[in-house]
Structure 1
Amino acid sequence: MLSRGRYQGDGIGLVDDKGRVAIPAALRATLAANAPKADGKTGGTIIVGPHQNPATKCLIAYDTGYLDILAEQLDRREAAFTGPDGEFDYNIKRRAAAGEGVPFDGSGRFIMPAFPRFYAGIGEHAYFYGTLDYIEIWDPKTLIETDGMADNVKAAARFHMMQKGVAL
């Protein structure tokens, strides 16, 4: 089995009125390496959906290869937390299965699916942050207002928005 690249890096993407946005270069390179197109052309598929944790109002995005890893993690969690009556909180899997695969081009542009974008409150700007296994996509203001978010992540979002001339 080939080793997967880890998602590290961050950046701001401008979201147009149709939901088109570009993945920052550092993250795009890992995404393309983890899920190369069979025909050798640039681009591929990114899966985008709400974060599994309902208290985390952002999206996660990942390559198709991460699906098997995610399914394995959820199967282990189900086995560990199935009650004596055989019942399990299936909402855990429902939240994780909410992703939608969309194509991205060689420049990393893709159309963010409408419902996930609505769910995360992403408007004109999307903040991308690599968390090793996947990419989080945030509305910058929501990220900064999120209790418990790491200070360095909040500072990075503020910095990138400041670079765009937007104060948060």
Structure 2
Amino acid sequence: MDRGRYQGDGIGLVDDKGRVAIPAALRATLAANAPKADGKTGGTVIIGAHQKNRCLVAYDPGYVDILAARLDAREAANTGPDGEYDYNIKRRAAAGEAVPFDGSGRFIMPAFPRFYAGIGEHAFFYGVLDYVEIWDPKTLIETEDMPPVVKEMARFYMMQKGVTL
């Protein structure tokens, strides 16, 4: 299957129950990568903690096999002669929870991942081709190794909401 790549960005308002909507451009790719069998809109998104940064990753269920194959190859290439391997690499990548999203892209952000990423009222979505990163905008701006243009995107969207970061 040809996979769509996640490109696009946007900000979502998170309600008190953790409901948030995936921005339209990213939602279209997600729906195309994981169409519902009954042909209706909506589907499933997997939400988990990012392996390095204090943000979340979101992806379609089809990406799980791709991610597993990459991690298996990494394990094979990095297992020492004594059989030692850093299994925390797989442990970090395995943290994900499948949640449904509706035709408008709304889903309920799982509680622990949301807590881990420090996501409050706003969630910044950023497509990075294979998956989508979901950030607390303030955390993103304070993360040193983030590209300046991505930080400015978050500032821009928050400014449009009347919030200065």
1:79-158 aligned at under 5 Å gives the runs: 79-158=76-155
Q: In structure 2, what is the equivalent of residue 35 of structure 1?
A: 34
TM-score by length of 2: 0.99
The answer to whether the aligner puts 1:22 opposite 2:21 as a matched pair is yes
**% identical equivalent positions:** 82
Q: Deviations over 1:28-69 (max 9, x none)?
A: 00000000000000000000000012xx11000000010011
Q: Deviations over 1:130-159 (max 9, x none)?
A: 000000000000000000100000000000
One-letter identity of the residue aligned with 1:137: I
Q: In structure 2, what is the equivalent of residue 167 of structure 1?
A: 164
In structure 2, C-alpha distance between the alignment counterparts of 1:120 and 1:79, rounded to whole Å: 30
In structure 1, C-alpha distance between the alignment counterparts of 2:116 and 2:16, rounded to whole Å: 16
Q: Secondary structure at the match of 1:49?
A: strand
The answer to whether the aligner puts 1:4 opposite 2:3 as a matched pair is yes
Residue correspondences, number:
165
Report the CA distance between 1:87 and its aligned residue.
1.6
Instruction: Please say which of residues 85-94 and 134-143 is displaced more in the overlay.
Output: 85-94
In structure 2, C-alpha distance between the alignment counterparts of 1:93 and 1:148, rounded to whole Å: 23
One-letter identity of the residue aligned with 2:142: E
In structure 1, C-alpha distance between the alignment counterparts of 2:155 and 2:12, rounded to whole Å: 13
Which ranges in structure 2 are unaligned for 5 or more consecutive residues?
A: none
Deviating 4+ runs (over 4 angstroms): none
Which ranges in structure 1 are unaligned for 5 or more consecutive residues?
A: none
Q: Secondary structure at the match of 1:83?
A: coil
What value does the CA root-mean-square deviation take over the aligned residues?
Answer: 0.5
